[in-house]
Amino acid sequence: MTTSSTMHRLTRSALVMAGLLLVVVGVGDVITGWAKVGQYRDLVRVTAAVERPDPAALFPTANEGQERHALAVDKLAFYQLVLTTGRTLAALGIVLMAAGALHVRIRTWRAGPGISAAGDIPSRN
């Protein structure tokens, strides 16, 4: 079996293509999450010095600094989730690609020499 026919069979495998899509999306999420986590981690550290509300107050009012800190904490948590999701998607994509490649390989072995994986009898020229 030639390399081009192997590549053709791999690109026609739904598992391989779905895995490739998940890897690409996952890597994009990891890159975005990694950059933003660093950015918002710094922002949380900078805004942490803001005065905390009085715990004895029944209805404490938040000032602008406290709201900025709370927003930074929430965004940090969101981008940590994006990062984790990206890693999970990339790992799942790699597993799907491996399963698809294994499936193509097994079909090729079962087909035997001289018969294509689709089960066609080769034409004689």
Q: How buried is residue 49: exposed, middle or buried, by Cβ count under 10 Å (0-12/13-18/19+)?
A: exposed
Copy the structure tokens of residue 6.
Answer: 């192997």
CA distance 93 to 87: 10
**Per residue in 26-83, pLDDT tens?**
999 999 999 999 999 999 999 887 666 667 767 777 788 888 988 999 999 999 999 9
Averaged pLDDT, 16-22: 93
Q: Give the separation between CA 26 and CA 91, rounded to whole angstroms.
A: 8
> In whole angstroms, what is the distance from residue 118 CA to residue 5 CA?
12
Q: Which residue has the tokens 């293509």?
A: 17
